[in-house]
Structure 1
Amino acid sequence: MPDFLARDPSMPDACWQLCLYPGGKRPENANNVSLFLKMSATSPLKEVIVKAEYRFFFLDEDDEVKFSNVNIGDFHAKPPKGGHSWGLRNIPRQKVQNSIRADHSLVISCTIELLPDAGRIPCKRVEPTALIITDMAEVSRVHMQNELAMFTGTESAPHSDLTVAVGPKDDRVVFAVHKYKLITHSDVFCAMLEHDMEESKTNTIVIEEFSHTAVKIMLTFIYTGAISPHELELEDASDVMQLAEKYNIPALKTMCEQDLISRVCAANVVDCMELADYHHASHLYEHCLDFMNANRCDTLNMESWSALKDRNPRLSSSIMERMIRSDHSNSPPVKKSRL
């Protein structure tokens, strides 16, 4: 005996219906009562997929709960049938009899809570770099601009007392900087400049193995504590992370991760994953894994994925293993029943 249809304006593509079978839905349920919640598409041509927690309550004369049950169901209505039901096949008759009212009616309350499908939402919480937040936002911006004005990114800067020379000897790019800034933000630079080392004698730090773009990003971060939006290209990210590790500036590495996470897409997710694996960038790694898992069919058919399998079978195997484990962990939960 199907009940009336219920709809919610927030979900116009679906309608809900309680279906009670006093004699059981099927012959094997004949000695029990069956109760189902049915979700139907409002259009016979539409496919609707909904994950929901639904709760059944049998209420007595005083609206006290005499029987209850909570379950989670993946409702999938698709043409031509257009409906999908979840519920209970075998509710003992005595449970129902205890809820019958004096007028021989049975009052059933059903609440439905829509649940997000985590497998379709690639998101990851990233612990932000610790920041001092005040109400003086405008002052903070001015302060940052003044700091950046001290680092011009050229061979000259106001009151500079140190140069950073980047690249091979015959093709170097030179940045004029201030010792106290580097000493304050890196214990490695501090050791170079406060002890009897070549850098402290010549007032020059030579960095040959990294690109001048990556070094400029590092120096800008030391002065301002930030990376300009989209300044970090993927091809420079590896150098910047290595610089952060070499000179022990962990906040720079975290900022790189945050910047790359905001730009992960199908075209670069495999490269970002390999970068994260190489540099042990756990936040970026987990975000890329979630993205690849949520877009599995597309990812596994990309040329970049095939290339990764050839050059880095360890990483590709690890990714596949995590995807398989994710499948098991996302399996529908065991039904909870109070029968």
Structure 2
Amino acid sequence: MSIATRSDLVINEIEIISNEDGLSMPTLDCYNITEYKPIRLEHKWIITNFHSIITSMEQKICLKSGIFVNGVVPEVKWRMCIFPCGGNLEGTTNPYLFMEVTSTSQYKKLTFKAKHKYTIKSYSYEVSHWYSDIFINTISLHPNNPIFRCSIFCIPISRIDNYFYRNYSLDICCEMEIIPDDKGIFCKEEVVKPPMDNVSHYVNYTSQFKKMYDSSSEVDCQIICNGTILSVHKFMLIAHSSVFNAMFKHKETKESEEKTIKIVDAELPALKMMIDYIYSGMIPELLNDDEIIDLLQLADKYDIKPLNHLCQDRLKLRLTKSNVCELLIVSEACKAQSLMDACIKLVAKNLKHIVESEKWSEMENTHPKLLFDVIKQAIKHRF
């Protein structure tokens, strides 16, 4: 089956070019033809007047083909992209082609292996078609990171004139195939976010526990912190925390006998948020770094793993070159491996800037072993 479409040309300046940029763009047309075969797919992309955009020397302009889909993995969209004048590759004005792969699934992680190659068609008897290498990529697309770019094919500008057709058009073809694993599975799917109907059900379900807490209905335990008494239910504490479970499991412990837990080394607002999480499964959206760190420390101390992971995710979203040193220390203290990995990746990308900072110098005196381990891992990421 073949599907032929005529699409508008998509023009981006890495992110976007607005009309205010005042670019004088040549007239360009873009044609896309997708041919479907069992497992394999072929997509043809013809860009007319391509020569004019090369001569414009607008380095950041990106052209994108129409979207095509392989029926084997229907939740994934493919498109070819080309920077006619080098794009963000330093030191080159040669055109280069690459593939952009996007997942449309909102709650599944998709992992699969794809093989493809590009062909630039020649319409001259004297010049053969120009074939790229065969690219084989294992692609993993997550709802939080649904775009994957791969398979860069550079086109020396000195050769491209040999491949222009009428109206200086460039004819590009991509042949693509999904490769099954040794069990014949083309795509592995893992649910990482529940569908919204499940989320709604979960919120309604947990809200009943929160009502019990807010009304102090049938409470059988107290937590005392800085003179404040918080009335709670033992079964909720036991269900969420192995530490609280151990306190009440042994009848001879003071907490079990008095049905009272005294906490002296915690900030009261963070403790209240931890208890709210135990009853509702949620934490406030608008928290600053210090508040999330206090909550992470409590989650680590009382072994509440889902809260621990949630706090790490929040801190990863707020991770910057300015706070990475502090969060490295927090990661080590709270055994927060996911946050630690994110910090190390940021250090690897900004090594010179971070190691020359005042905070890094302070850590050389206070946490020398941690810095040694971080540098060792950061170097692995860079190479």
Point out the structure with max Rg over C-alpha.
Answer: 1
Q: Which residue type is aligned with residue 135 of structure 1?
A: D
Using CA pairs under 8 Å that are at least 6 residues apart, name the structure with larger relative contact order, 1 or 2: 1
- Measure, in 2, the Cα distance between the counterparts of 1:219 and 1:129: 28
RMSD of aligned alpha carbons: 4.4
Q: Which residue type is aligned with residue 212 of structure 2?
A: M
Report the count of equivalent residues: 252
| 1:56–1:69 contact (8 Å) kept in structure 2 | yes
The residue number in structure 2 matching 1:243 is 298
**Residues 279-318 of structure 1 mapped to structure 2, 5 A cutoff:** 279-318=334-373
- Measure, in 2, the Cα distance between the counterparts of 1:238 and 1:198: 29
- Measure, in 1, the Cα distance between the counterparts of 2:158 and 2:377: 34
TM-score by length of 1: 0.58
| 1:244–1:253 contact (8 Å) kept in structure 2 | yes
The change in CA–CA distance for 1:136 and 1:252 in structure 2 (over 3 A counts) is closer
Shift of 1:157: 2.3
Shift of 1:176: 0.8
Say yes or no: does 1:164 pair with 2:228.
Answer: no
Q: Which residue type is aligned with residue 132 of structure 2?
A: N
- Measure, in 1, the Cα distance between the counterparts of 2:12 and 2:294: 48
- Which of structure 1's runs of 4+ aligned residues deviate more than 6 A? 12-15, 38-41, 44-48, 71-75, 128-131
Q: Secondary structure at the match of 1:266?
A: coil
| 2:331–2:339 contact (8 Å) kept in structure 1 | yes
Say yes or no: does 1:216 pair with 2:279.
Answer: no
Aligned identity (percent) is: 21
Superposed CA offset, 1:13-44 (max 9, x none): 899xxxxxxxxxxxxxxxxxxxxxx9676359
The residue number in structure 2 matching 1:21 is none
TM-score by length of 2: 0.52
The residue number in structure 1 matching 2:132 is 69
Q: Which of 55, 78, 88 matches 1:50? A: 88
| 1:292–1:299 contact (8 Å) kept in structure 2 | yes
Shift of 1:223: 0.7
Shift of 1:174: 1.8
Say yes or no: does 1:202 pair with 2:265.
Answer: no
**Residues 1-339 of structure 1 mapped to structure 2, 5 A cutoff:** 9-11=11-13, 42=57, 49-51=87-89, 52-53=96-97, 55=118, 57=120, 59=122, 68-70=131-133, 86=156, 133=195, 135=197, 137-138=199-200, 140-152=202-214, 157-166=216-225, 171-196=226-251, 197-231=253-287, 233-328=288-383
| 2:312–2:338 contact (8 Å) kept in structure 1 | yes
- Measure, in 1, the Cα distance between the counterparts of 2:238 and 2:196: 26
| 1:276–1:284 contact (8 Å) kept in structure 2 | yes
The residue number in structure 1 matching 2:138 is none
| 2:241–2:302 contact (8 Å) kept in structure 1 | yes
- Measure, in 2, the Cα distance between the counterparts of 1:234 and 1:321: 27
Shift of 1:205: 1.2
The change in CA–CA distance for 1:74 and 1:303 in structure 2 (over 3 A counts) is farther
Shift of 1:260: 1.2
The change in CA–CA distance for 1:294 and 1:161 in structure 2 (over 3 A counts) is same
